Structure 1
Amino acid sequence: MARRTPARTAVPAAPAVVWQAGLPAHGARTWVILVGAAGLPDAAKDAGERLGVDLERLLEALTGTGFSPGAGRVAAYPLLAGEITQVVLAGAGDGSPRDLRHAGAAIARFGRGHDELTTVVAEGIDDAGLQAFAEGVVLGSFTFHRKTVDPGKPVAGRIVLTDGTDTDRDEVVERGLVIGRTGCLARELATTPSNEKDPAWLAARATELAKANGLDVRVWDEKQLAADGFGGILAVGQGSVRPPRLIRLDYTPPGATKNTPYVVLVGKGITYDTGGLSLKPRESMVSMKRDMTGGGSVIATMAALRDLGAKVRVTGLVCAAENMPSGTAYRPDDIVRHYGGRTTEVKNTDAEGRMVLADGLAYAVEELKPDVLVDIATLTGAIKMALGSMLYGGLFATDDALADNLVEAGFVSGEQLWRMPLPVEYADYISTPVADAVNSSKGPGSITAALFLKNFSGGLPWAHLDLSSIAESPRDEFEYTLGATGAGARLLTTWLTSPNPTAGI
């Protein structure tokens, strides 16, 4: 019987978010007033007159019942007369982009089931803060389910933003919305269950997005992978009845020349990871539908480059496979030959991410010859031991300027990075007398994994992002939703669409 092809999953729903110059003449039935540490915004007086409410007294009263302007705090007050039915005070924290992103997400969650909200922000909010607020609105709207009963309230239909002035801020808001949607798309890809999502599904989804966003696309199937020598991807995927794929997406900016900087991204696309013959415990296997977060973030980033006017050439490579145990699975003690000829002795089939990434990196070096090479993966549990959860992702880099540019993009996007060392003294941990390296060893696991991958970077300016530490949120909090975070999509998009992402490299 032919296997049914899973239906396409739609991009997650989000409210229509628009900027309004001046207070709207006819606002929504619910108005939200953003309150910062300095108090109410200047436009609150005019808004209060429109609402028929003394907002200063309301703030004082609600503060007395426990409300504070901390980012993400929300308090609603019903109005008993007039067309406007309630006013909501929402905390903006210290007014930083980080706190405003959290505030936007909180307002989006509050807005579920509403047709429209009018939101008054502080006059003089800078571009970074307004962009982050718009990102938060989209990210806080994210939901994913396959329920047929009680699916929950829908996202707000429309959210109007205004600071009460005549300033036009549409472009800033739109950038925030695109970056927010990039994060949501990466979450959607990571959250899709693996009975729907296999390497072929991921390739089909990437192809759809490429066609919709002006990208060139090529997909290698298992026969083409074998013919071209992608031994790492084939080894990891050979235990599954659902064969591997290599996905290539290409973006070229208008007016590009031979001097236009060229960046290649390589993403881990393990659509399910049992550990293979080195089988994971049940508890460790539960969230492994999201082990393609790196590859999903590459796809989501590539889909945003045209809309945001990226000025660099970018190729995204997604190395997709399903790591399963079977009679055809690769084994501990196998020796695998990667693209380009380098060999790896397998000691742990659950160290599969570096096996597929190695092929992608080697292909990029030999065939594409970029100026900058970056790989991204949920690669090791060791990075969680080093950095904890939901604060920093791990960054390894051979170029200081590249590291600095990525750290800055992480700070701006809210997906923060902490640079880790690449000490040559640890290279002995991955040495073996029978191959060029082993894929797993004793010692500091995230560092030895990075050293393994460094051997495939060809001496190019290279960075490795190990984001296992920020890939899974334990609860609905700030801009995150319980489950996969889509880590890396906002970071990469922010970096590649900055004015000069390769500055100093």
Structure 2
Amino acid sequence: MLAIRLVAEPHRLDTLVLPLRPAGTEAGGDAPTVPVPTAVTLPDGVADEAAALAPAARLTGRAGEVRTQFRPGRTPGVLVLMGIGDGDEGDWRRAGAALARATTDETHITIALPADASPAAVRGLYEGLLLASYRFRLTDAGDAPALAGVDLLVGDPDAYLAVVETARTTARMTRLARDLTNTPSSVKNPEWFAGQVAEVAGGTPDLHLRVREPAELAAEGFGGILAVGGGSASGPRLVELDWHPAGASTHVVLVGKGITFDTGGISIKPVPAMKLMRKDMGGAAAVVAATLGAAALRLPVRITALAPLAENMVSGSAFRPGDVIRHYGGVTSESTNSDAEGRLVLADALAYAAAQLKPDLLVDLATLTGANAVALGKRTGALYSENDQLAADLLAAGEAAGESAWRMPLPADYVEFLGSEVADLYSAPEPAKSVTSALFLREFTGDLRDRWLHVDMSAPSWADADDAELTKGATGWGVRFLMRWLATLS
């Protein structure tokens, strides 16, 4: 991971980066865009050169705009102007991402921050640099980016230590979720995923891990997980990761869908829809990584992450359309589409959380349907909850973290679509697929119905191209907004 340091004096000036803000309207419409005053003194002539370069290059100062000027034989040898827009956290995150991509040929850069840089600005810049410089490769072919070190030049490094630790941990856990999700399913199965969690969690005080294997799942009645995983030679698992610090007064359970590969089962997917189904455990990756991040930051709130893991395959032992499944706690569901498998494993985990863990709040994340992408696009999740305050808190955390969601309805008259003639519930109604999926999950939340929130995150879990702090492939979506929200509970 890119090494970033806070420094009060420049140690290397191979490449110097100066932030650029749009000209203020109060200065007049023709006022030039110029670099903002920095916290430390710059080498002679650099500030004047940058002030002349910005208008000459017709720079606007918008967040993500980058201009490189080479200065052979002088110090610094490379001068970079970086637009920061209005200077809020999101603009700094976008600026950091653009800078990381624009300087891949450099080995080290120094960024001179404004004298008035806020902790939020430093956090945004830090996260943008670390997230946009992420690469996932299972081969050594090709040249890796040269950029290895970044110095943030500030007046008082100690003033930003806490926010930098938070940003570093958040980015590290987002990168972990990306790694887990990007890993091909030829490597990744339920046992492998559980092993990765054990490896990362091992030795952390107050962090406890339990992994249920198929025999335990059968003994305890986790029928949904067993049904979905029954067609695979790689048996299902239920990961239960509990961060339980002394004195915690609030308990949150996070549930994440963990289908390590989804063929659709007997209701098999067409190849174009199947080829990226290694991402179908993005919810499990997010809740596990967020819990590990909370433990690393020692947030004083109890968090239990539940990751029901299964591989939905086609075989003689696969569950069939029309099967009736008995979930944890005894509720039965009729499934006439084996490609609607995620809700079946989530139902078990939600029912277990409500009946046995009895948390104060229950949140689930799932790459559940593609339906929400039609309305909300690729960067926005669909959020469902009956609890106005819980929904508002999660939406605010997502907005601050750069992971937006939109609240969707839970119409009472759609509940009739869940009716089955042979079971308690019908799991895969055709109308309003994202909405009825959420309504199905709600049926397993018991007394926590009014303290439950569901996010359908299928679309934003994967990026088709580099986009700001996102890199092509798995986005690690959900880690940042969960960690931001969990910090508010402490």
Letter of the structure 1 residue corresponding to residue 412 of structure 2 = V
* From 6, 15, 18, the counterpart of 1:30: 15
* From 31, 37, 44, the counterpart of 1:42: 37
Identify the residue that residue 484 of structure 2 maps to in structure 1: 494
* From 79, 83, 88, the counterpart of 1:87: 79
| Contact 1:71 1:91 (8 Å CA) reproduced | yes
Aligned residue for 2:253, secondary structure, equals: strand
Identify the residue that residue 188 of structure 1 maps to in structure 2: 179
List aligned pairs for 1:253-268, cutoff 5 A. Answer: 253-256=245-248, 260-268=249-257
Q: Residues of 2 paired with 1:469 and 1:85: CA distance? A: 42
* From 423, 430, 450, the counterpart of 2:438: 450
The yes-or-no answer on 1:208 pairing with 2:199 is yes
Structure 1 residue 250, shift from structure 2 partner: 0.5
TM-score normalized by the length of structure 1:
0.91
Identify the residue that residue 102 of structure 1 maps to in structure 2: 94
Structure 1 residue 166, shift from structure 2 partner: 6.8
The yes-or-no answer on 1:57 pairing with 2:52 is yes
Identify the residue that residue 161 of structure 2 maps to in structure 1: 170
Q: Residues of 2 paired with 1:478 and 1:336: CA distance? A: 43
Aligned residue for 2:296, secondary structure, equals: coil
Superposed CA RMSD: 1.7
Bigger Cα displacement from structure 2, 351-360 vs 93-102: 93-102
For structure 1, the 5+ residue unaligned runs are: 1-13
Structure 1 residue 113, shift from structure 2 partner: 4.2
Identify the residue that residue 398 of structure 2 maps to in structure 1: 410
List aligned pairs for 1:2-401, cutoff 5 A. Answer: 14-21=1-8, 23-24=9-10, 26-38=11-23, 39-43=34-38, 46-49=41-44, 51=46, 54-63=49-58, 67-154=59-146, 156-164=147-155, 168-214=159-205, 215-256=207-248, 260-390=249-379, 392-401=380-389
| Contact 1:18 1:173 (8 Å CA) reproduced | no
For structure 2, the 5+ residue unaligned runs are: 24-33
The yes-or-no answer on 1:431 pairing with 2:419 is yes
Instruction: Work out the percentage of aligned pairs sharing the same amino acid.
Output: 42
Aligned residue for 1:477, secondary structure, equals: coil
Q: Residues of 2 paired with 1:142 and 1:455: CA distance? A: 39
Q: Residues of 1 paired with 2:265 and 2:143: CA distance? A: 35
| Contact 2:382 2:405 (8 Å CA) reproduced | yes
Identify the residue that residue 472 of structure 1 maps to in structure 2: 462
Runs of 4+ aligned structure 1 residues displaced above 3 Å come to: 50-53, 163-167
Structure 1 residues 141 and 349, CA gap change in structure 2 (3 angstroms): same
Letter of the structure 1 residue corresponding to residue 233 of structure 2 = V
For residues 141-170 of structure 1, what are the alpha-carbon distances to aligned partners after superposition, in whole Å with 9 as ceiling and x for unaligned? 11001223214324x221111244676312
Aligned residue for 2:257, secondary structure, equals: strand
Structure 1 residue 50, shift from structure 2 partner: 7.1
For residues 233-272 of structure 1, what are the alpha-carbon distances to aligned partners after superposition, in whole Å with 9 as ceiling and x for unaligned? 000001111111100000012433xxx1110011100001
For residues 340-375 of structure 1, what are the alpha-carbon distances to aligned partners after superposition, in whole Å with 9 as ceiling and x for unaligned? 111010111010000000000011111111111111
| Contact 1:32 1:88 (8 Å CA) reproduced | yes
Structure 1 residue 112, shift from structure 2 partner: 2.4
TM-score normalized by the length of structure 2:
0.94
Aligned residue for 1:235, secondary structure, equals: helix
Identify the residue that residue 5 of structure 1 maps to in structure 2: none
Structure 1 residues 420 and 148, CA gap change in structure 2 (3 angstroms): same
Aligned residue for 2:340, secondary structure, equals: coil
Q: Residues of 2 paired with 1:84 and 1:212: CA distance? A: 45
Identify the residue that residue 10 of structure 1 maps to in structure 2: none
Letter of the structure 1 residue corresponding to residue 216 of structure 2 = Q
| Contact 1:72 1:90 (8 Å CA) reproduced | yes
| Contact 1:19 1:168 (8 Å CA) reproduced | no
Aligned residue for 2:431, secondary structure, equals: coil
Letter of the structure 2 residue corresponding to residue 236 of structure 1 = V
Q: Residues of 1 paired with 2:74 and 2:39: CA distance? A: 18
Letter of the structure 2 residue corresponding to residue 40 of structure 1 = P
Structure 1 residues 50 and 306, CA gap change in structure 2 (3 angstroms): farther
Q: Residues of 1 paired with 2:253 and 2:340: CA distance? A: 23
